[in-house]
Structure 1
Amino acid sequence: MSKIIKKIFISTIMVSTTFSLLMGAESIEISPSIDKKIFHEQYVSVTVKLNNKNISKVLIVTDKNEHYPIELTTQCDNVCSKIIKLRLGENSIRVEGYIGEELAYEVKNELYCASQAFREYKEAPIKYKERFFHTDKNEKLCAECHDMSNNEQKKVAFVDVKDSNCFVCHKAITLDRYAHAPSANWLCTSCHTGEIENKSKNIIEKSKFIAPKQIASACFSCHDKNKQSWDTKKHKHFPVEAGMCTRCHNPHSSDNKMFLRVNSSFLCLECHADKKLSQQIRGNSKCPGEQKDGCTECHNPHASDYRFLLKSPHVDKKIDNNIKGK
């Protein structure tokens, strides 16, 4: 065999071997699967199961080339995890397993991060399905090393939040600037009751900690004064009337005041698209709200005795005068 042919033959073997290793996804897997699943928070805990003890390094890489190295510990013999941040919409990640410095295995997953605050991200493409981790079957995967029981005492905050059994996997959801009290104190089951609305009964795998979209009853257990006030008003905003507080507010934490998912004006215009168009038509002629606190400068976002949820009657009269051409 000539030297050139021999080199080609050896190179072919090396490429073939590498290819077969990279295709050997059974040696590294994301368990439970998150492929083609929908997430409603931008943080997700990725749990990786290693079926080859020679793997010395694991790395999660996003389609934006963000790198999340996973620390391999002796606490869990062949399982490790990492919290990563998703962007809204479709995400692609790959988990890479290394033997020494050589890439040996990789697994690719597609995820979808949905948001009630943005019209274009409310509904995921049909290939994505809802994911519920906290089933008895899934929890058995973690129970060998982690206490999966609920260790809360009703309405009693943890002295050290790290003592909560929920903290390790879900700690990232409270890291934004403003943390909501139940989340900041890790009183998770105040809202995560496992209950769902009747219209969602077709969900096959129900999580024991799922929170209903019509969450108002849980919210009003603390915000009862708000309910008493709004119930006396003539007009209610639809999300309030439907009991869907989390449509506008993030119940865990937010970088916006009042735990809004985005700033108030942007949030309003995502539903009231016709007002966005009139805003563009007006050009430099701005309403008071655009110069100050946005739509809530004039409108109460929850309930009001005045039309269009206006805060005061004199604004209502101004509207009437404009309509009559006065």
Structure 2
Amino acid sequence: MIWLLRAGLGALALCLTACDPVVRHKTLSTIFDGVPTLPPTDEYCVDFARQYHQEQLGLAKVEVKEEGPKGSTHLPYGEKRCADCHGSDKDKSGGLVVPKQELCFKCHPGFLKGAFQHGPAAVGDCLACHLPHAAPNPDLLGAPRDQICGRCHTEERLTNRMHDRLKDSKIACVECHDPHAGDARYLLR
């Protein structure tokens, strides 16, 4: 019985210290009386994003990384290992060793762990965001990191409220949202 109490207290502590201010507020206001109301969504989300962005900048300063080339090349392509993906039989349908929807997961498993999955990733359409051989952007992205999501996600809900105020900040969507899968709605990190 004590283990159950400890597990419950641990879960409560995790919820109370959640990164998301909405989750934290819901938890606190459910348990305690007199919890102040949240400011308007656009205020706390911008503040939260700004704080997160500053933390990431701080981490980047600590991790000394060599500046690499601006673009990226898929390792098998760069090493002329075409057969890894295309096989040696050029007559195969599409010229791939397995269907396109399965190909990337041969070498990149585990990207779809989580209760929620990004649509293209869930069906193996990695090429919706990534280029197969080389790209002018990091991570084989087909567009710059701060523009890639806007190629498909043009819904009004993404261009108003909290996101509207983030446009000029150069915060990329992937700083708050996981591009592949996650356990939180909207793929929030």
Identical aligned residues as a percent: 29
- The corresponding residue for 1:301 is 179
- The corresponding residue for 1:215 is 100
CA distance in 1 between counterparts of 2:83 and 2:73 reads 16
CA distance in 2 between counterparts of 1:209 and 1:187 reads 17
Q: Which moved more, 1:261-270 or 1:240-249?
A: 261-270
SS of the residue corresponding to residue 286 of structure 1 reads helix
How many Å apart are 1:278 and its aligned residue?
A: 5.0
Residue correspondence of structure 1 range 95-110 to structure 2 within 5 A: none
Q: How many residues align?
A: 120
Residue correspondence of structure 1 range 129-208 to structure 2 within 5 A: 177-193=71-87
CA distance in 2 between counterparts of 1:306 and 1:292 reads 23
- Cα distance per residue 1:217-246 (max 9 Å; x no partner): 33222223x34xx23x10011111101112
Residue correspondence of structure 1 range 227-266 to structure 2 within 5 A: 227=111, 230-231=112-113, 233-266=114-147
SS of the residue corresponding to residue 221 of structure 1 reads helix
Gaps of 5+ in 2: 1-69
Given the two structures, how large is their TM-score scaled by the length of structure 2? 0.52
Q: Which amino acid aligns with 1:296?
A: V
SS of the residue corresponding to residue 165 of structure 2 reads coil
Give 1 or 2: higher helix fraction: 2
- Cα distance per residue 1:232-291 (max 9 Å; x no partner): x1001111110111221111111111110002342211211114x753x5699513x752
Q: Could you say which structure has the larger radius of gyration?
A: 1
Distance 1:308 1:214, change over 3 A: farther
How many Å apart are 1:189 and its aligned residue?
A: 2.2
How many Å apart are 1:177 and its aligned residue?
A: 2.9
Deviating above 4 A after TM superposition, structure 1's stretches of 4 or more consecutive aligned residues are 206-209, 281-285
- The corresponding residue for 1:286 is 165
CA distance in 1 between counterparts of 2:137 and 2:121 reads 19
- The corresponding residue for 2:151 is 270
Larger relative contact order, structure 1 or 2 (CA cutoff 8 Å, min sep 6): 2
How many Å apart are 1:186 and its aligned residue?
A: 1.1
Given the two structures, how large is their TM-score scaled by the length of structure 1? 0.32
